[in-house]
Structure 1
Amino acid sequence: MRAAFHSLLVAGLLAACAGSSPPPAVAQDQPLEIGSSSLPLKIDEPAARKVGRLVWRGGVTMTANSRRFGGWSDLHITADGKRLTSISDEGAWLTATIEYDGDANLAGLSDARIGQLLALDGRFIASKPEADAEAMARLPDGSWLVAFERNHRLWRYDSLTATPQPVAGPPDIGRQPSNGGIEAMTVLDDGRIVMLSEEYSRRPGTVAGWIAEPAPGGGYRWSSFDYAEIPDFHPTALTRLPDGSLAVVERAFDMARGVRCRVMRFDAAQLVAGGTVRAEELARLASPYAVDNLEGLAATRGARGETLLWLISDDNFNPLQRNILLLFELAP
């Protein structure tokens, strides 16, 4: 997450958060009981069902019987909408079954498990500088590519419980701010990987993006592009939509206005080496709408062929924030 976001939050809520430091890593993969409380789209208008081009399909606040539950930084949903996978900025991973109500709206999670990612030496990642996983993507062979910040790097996991292998990233990956690295990553149908930095900028009014094309014999050939942004908002999540276009979550925060998020979309044709991507706004989430520190995004097709967008939040292990999971349908 952004350093500014963290420092402002801590400064304004220091007394309340004195006991909210994240828990240490625990070695074993464990079952998890997740409690879910239903959220309205809009607090002061419970009947509201739409914001911008997004139609409400349910939301929940999540709690669990584990001190490691929280900090969720990215999200993957299986194509059938049945299983969820997430990673945290403390190096944890989460899997769960998604529950729906009678109208096929989000109701909660069950059959959950939580564990800790491994380092290159096969031991569990235990320190924050090494464990800060901020983005992940499911590769065509079923493995996971995970992007870490602070110590900026890419690791590929055959499974979430496997020992990873390092992946050579773009040449300028190390130029990113310590706490403003790769937050958004996805894989296209042709196997190319697309990534966005949260804070690293080559040109005013933009942040850096990269495209990785699979190379013969393994590895990737990297090219770069820029992603246009507006003041205060920076990308925190990226996913490919079923129609081949891409969606982005951008986040802003200050103590006066709290968290605000923009849900964006752009065509894959804009992904040109040396080019600048300019996304369109689908919706803006800010109080009194359901919102928190949204850092994970996934997309699936619903039973009627509709495009569904899933968003998950990072609570920073702060008792005044929430772990929320939101589901929207993208209106035509």
Structure 2
Amino acid sequence: MRLSLHGLRLTAAALAIGIAAPAMASALSSAWIGHSADAPKSVAAQRETGAAWQPIEITARPYGEDSATGEPAPLTIGRLSLAGALVLTSPDDSFGGFSGLRFAADEGRLYAISDRAKWLRADVTFADNGAVEALSGGALANFTFYGGEIITGARADAEALALTPDGGAIVGFEREHRLEYYAREGDEFTIAARVMPKDLLEKLPNNESMESVALLTDGRIVAIAEGTADGRAERPGWISPPDIHAEGTGDWSPFQYVPAEEFSPTDMAQDPATGDIYVVERAYSRARGVRARVTRFPLSALQPGALIEPEELASLNALHGVDNMEGLDLRRREDGQLVLVMISDDNFNIAQRTVLMSWLVTDRP
């Protein structure tokens, strides 16, 4: 979601009409889009239109450190303790607007997506305490549609990301609401299928839909919408059958998620060790500025028809260093300590920042 700290305003680009969708050749199910014979998915076809990775320079500047020790200043809020924080900048005009965040442990890389339909990747160095310490080898790539054309306009608002075991990715979009699977071909992502029925999403607000998506260890996809059409506090969520991104069949089961008052969910991730699901919520008002809330609920709560009221781990505000936090992922240190990492969407606004924050999660009492 685009959020302006000087008031909510939509840019002309955000309101532009996106490219037309290609005709559906054949559907494997109501949630699966086939491809016509002239809709190439090869890396070569995508590269012709500029979808290949383009190197960029990224500067990661630590902040919130003790000037005497150079270590993060002690900060514990609720169940979270700050392990490190970075402000990310780049001279590339396309850098920014990041929402979904995921670590690919086998690659030693961070992946993120932007609301201008860009992929970001960077190699990651971790500090001894588990925080993200440095980024290198940064690169951006365009999202492309079936024929290889670059995605622009209303179709381009990518907001949620989950990586799949086969090396692909599941991406959630708003404005033109959809959830899509991108296969991995070589080093690049190519669109393969739409994995969620359109009718589940069509009543969601234009700028408040597919913000939170996670792929569970059992192969199911979980999605929670940022907003709701009727203004209720509960946010609609859905659970897919296992491996729907690969199989393309099966019905999604609904549930409800209850955020704090004034807050909306913007990302989530599962801890593979415990099965628990962590959610980051975001709020903004002129009076109180930007805020973030981190919650958790057990996997057992994720049932069809459930009303999920999560446990609050921490409530954060601008004084704690947060900005417009929209991306979340988890990783475990070798000693088992859980590290929660969040990234902010700067909305390409000079008054905001791309912040990457690492927090240690304390155990339950």
TM-score normalised to structure 1 length: 0.88
Change in Cα spacing, 1:223 to 1:104, as seen in structure 2 (3 Å) is closer
Task: Figure out how many residues of one structure are paired with residues of the other and give that number.
Answer: 319
In structure 1, the partner of 2:267 is 237
Report the alpha carbon displacement of residue 9 of structure 1 after superposing the two structures with TM: 2.4
Deviates more, 1:152-161 or 1:88-97: 152-161
Matched, 1:190 2:218: yes
Partner Cα distance (1:81, 1:249) in 2: 25
After TM superposition, the structure 1 = structure 2 runs for residues 101-120 of structure 1, keeping only pairs within 5 Å, are 101=127, 103-120=129-146
Q: Aligned pair in 2 of structure 1 residues 108, 52: CA closer, same or farther (>3 Å)?
A: same
Cα offset, 1:10, TM superposition: 4.6
Offset at residue 246 of structure 1 (A): 0.2
Counterpart check, 1:221 vs 2:251: yes
Is the Cα contact below 8 Å between 2:205 and 2:229 reproduced in 1? no
Q: Secondary structure at the match of 1:221?
A: coil
**Aligned partner letter, 1:259:** V
Q: CA deviation at 1:290?
A: 1.2
Q: How far apart are 1:283 and its partner, in Å?
A: 0.8
Segments of structure 2 that go 5 or more residues without pairing to the other structure are 16-48
Match of 2:88? 62
Deviation by residue 1:3-46 (Cα, 9 ceiling, x = unmatched) = xx4496256xx9xx9xxx9xxx9655211111011121799xx7
Kept in 1, the 8 Å contact 2:5–2:351? The answer is: no
1:163 aligns with 2:188: no
Q: Which of structures 1 and 2 has the bigger CA Rg? A: 2
Q: Structure 1 311/220 Cα, relative in aligned 2: closer, same or farther at 3 Å?
A: farther
Shift of 1:117: 0.8
Q: Secondary structure at the match of 2:7?
A: helix
The alpha-carbon deviation at position 145 of structure 1 amounts to: 1.0
What is residue 355 of structure 2 aligned with on the other side?
A: 324
Contact 2:124 2:132 in 1 (8 A): yes
Q: Is the Cα–Cα contact under 8 Å of residues 4 and 349 in structure 2 kept in the other structure?
A: no
SS, match of residue 291 in structure 1? coil
Residue 57 of structure 2 corresponds to 33
Match 1:87 to one of 85, 92, 113: 113
Q: Distance in 1 between matches of 2:279 and 2:129?
A: 27
- The answer to whether residue 327 in structure 2 is matched with residue 300 in structure 1 is no
Secondary structure of the residue that 1:130 maps to in structure 2? helix
Could you tell me which amino acid in structure 2 is paired with residue 221 of structure 1? Answer: D
Q: Quote the residue 1:9 is aligned against.
A: 7
Q: Report the residue type matching 2:264 in the other structure.
A: H
Counterpart contact for 1:81–1:98, Cα < 8 Å:
no
Compute the displacement of 1:75 (Å). 0.3
Q: Which residue of 1 aligns with 2:178?
A: 153
Opposite residue 344 of structure 2, the aligned amino acid is: S
Q: Which residue of 1 aligns with 2:34?
A: none
Distance in 2 (alpha carbons) for counterparts of 1:212 and 1:142? 19
The RMSD of aligned alpha carbons is 2.8
Q: Is the 8 A contact 1:81 1:300 kept in 2?
A: no
**Counterpart-to-counterpart distance in 1, 2:312 and 2:132:** 24
Asked whether the 8 Å contact 1:120–1:165 carries over to 2, the reply is no
Output the amino acid matched with 1:300: R
Superposition deviation, residue 161 in structure 1: 3.3
Q: Is the contact between residue 201 and residue 208 of structure 1 (CA under 8 Å) also seen in structure 2?
A: no
Which residue number corresponds to residue 271 of structure 1? 302
Q: Are 1:201 and 1:207, in contact at CA under 8 Å, matched by a contact in 2?
A: no
Cα distance in 2 for partners of 1:41, 1:237 equals 27
Q: Which structure: greater strand fraction?
A: 1
SS in 2 for 1:269: helix
Q: 1:42 to 1:222 in 2, by over 3 A?
A: farther
How much identity, in percent, do the aligned residues show? Answer: 37
Tell me the distance in 2 between the aligned counterparts of 1:204 and 1:121.
39
User: TM-score, normalising length from structure 2?
Assistant: 0.80
Residue 164 of structure 1 aligns to a residue whose secondary structure is: strand
Unpaired runs of at least 5, structure 1: none
Deviations 1:70-110 (A, max 9, x none): 00011001236931000001000011111234555332211
For 2:73 and 2:296, locate their aligned partners in 1 and report how far apart those are by CA, in whole Å.
26
